[in-house]
A = this chain, B = another copy of it.
Amino acid sequence: MKITKPCNPFRKSMLTALTLGSVLASTLYPTLSFARQVQTNESQHQLTLLIKGYEQKQGVTYLSLYDNAEDFNSMNGKSIANVQHQIQGDTLSISFNQLSKGEYAISLYHDANNNRKLDRNLLGIPSEQYGFSNDVGAFGPAKFDKASFKLDGDKTVVINLR
């Protein structure tokens, strides 16, 4: 048995900090939103990625967005976002529309044969295309200090697959 949210009568003090705004929709099935009022957050920026250099027009691109060196360098899975996107053309473009100001870096690979991994050869060297922001990574996995870029406004980043 677990008691959630212990509180004394009416939990008023807690509620003060958690004031809810409500967004209302249809009457029959009113759409609920517990969201606080969406603040007009000037520190939220759009990052558009344009991935180029696909050698094959099929398969899936796996992309990760990081916001700090530790996670990026260790590739520990603690990315801000991951995207898997089918490839049907020569380029791929997506946008993250609500990123905070900061330093970001991107790693990605193209799973051309849809086996859900970056194929590597006997020596562990990628045999499918990959890439990093700033197009670094020529000498092995790129580190954050090389791959990172500053986001302090809307920005488009082009990455050429290796």
* A160 contacts B31, C-beta separation under 8 Å: yes
Minimum C-beta distance from A25 to chain B (A): 7
Question: A14 near B: Cβ within 8 Å?
Answer: no
Supposing A33-B52, A160-B31 touch, asked if A93 and B84 sit within 8 A by C-beta, the answer is: no
Q: Contacting A94 at CB < 8 Å: which of B54, B92, B94?
A: B94
A154 to B162, CA, bound (A): 30
* B135 contacts A31, C-beta separation under 8 Å: yes
Mask, A78-120, CB within 8 Å of B = 1, is 0111111110111111111110100000000000000000000
A135 to B50, CA, bound (A): 30
Which of A1-9, A34-42, A142-150 is the interface stretch?
A34-42
- Overall SS of chain A's interface: loop
* A97 contacts B98, C-beta separation under 8 Å: no
B residues within 8 A CB of A55?
34
* A95 contacts B97, C-beta separation under 8 Å: yes
Selected A-B contacts with CB under 8 Å, 6 pairs:
A25-B160, A41-B89, A44-B89, A81-B94, A82-B82, A93-B96
Q: Contacting A53 at CB < 8 Å: which of B34, B88, B98?
A: B34
